[in-house]
Amino acid sequence: MGQLDGKVAVITGASRGIGRFMAHEFAKEGADIVVAARSEEQPHEKLPGTIYATADEVKALGRRALAVKCDLSSDDDIENLANQAIAEFGKVDILVNNAGILFPGKLVDMVMKRIDLTWRVNVRGALLLTKLLLPNMLKAKEGTVIFISSSSADALDPGDISYALSKDALRTLAEGWSKETIDDNVRMFSLSPRAWVVTPGVTFWNDPKDLPADQIEPDEWMGWAGIWLASDAAKEYNGQHFFSDDVVKRYANRV
């Protein structure tokens, strides 16, 4: 029996990378998955993956899957995603706000259009989707929302500030919003990988050979951490930010 049997999870940015890895691990634990992302077709030879490919992988693991195209800069797309998820499954138990974009560059040189788009997708899109799915969770008196942050929020490296700002905002959003939903048993968390997760997004900007082997995190860890956060064992930590390795090693005892 899986830890997520009978649960429905919506995962954004699930056509590739961390979102796809989390979809796999959640499905292995018994969850049905709403696979949301922009990619109906592979956009670039270095960015493999589509929502349909991930949905097929979930189905191959024995779970139901719904692929929904969603651009998180579009309110209409976000509303459509929320509506389709409820129409197909009747509920949503877990929401993973994973989708995000990154424009490397120093703030002084970056056009405001890129800064605005980073904020709109990474923060506003996650906020709106949560806002639309939250009433379903509140009515059920059960639910978990996970905002995927980043170690960039701690590093504040030059050329990465716009992205880091958005990822730090997700931690504040989870902490603050959790206080409004705790009485209805809806928990909110933020979760970051501490090390590199070798995703197409990472290898698009970096040569994998240049990544230190001791600073690479296994693909499964973010999924394993998310499974623990969605469990009753995590209730007392409502609103907190976690790094995946801490969850996997200290709390979930996976390694």
Going by C-beta distance under 8 Å and a sequence separation of 6 or more, which residues neighbour residue 162? 103, 105, 107, 110, 114, 115, 118
Q: Rounded distance, CA 99 to CA 71, Å?
A: 9
Query: Is 251 an annotated catalytic residue?
Result: no
- Residue appearing with tokens 């959640």: 26
CB contact at 8 A, 41 and 16: no
Three-class SS state of 186:
strand
Phi-psi region of 168 (alpha: psi -120 to 50; beta: other; left: phi over 0): alpha
- Residue 16's φ and ψ, nearest 5 degrees, are -160, 175
Catalytic residue among 52, 163, 237, 251: 163
In single-letter form, the type of residue at position 10 comes to V
228: nearest Cα among 13, 26, 17: 26
Count helices and strands in the chain by DSSP H and E runs: 10, 7
What CA–CA distances, in Å, run from 63 to 40, 142, 149? 20, 21, 27
Active-site residue list: 163
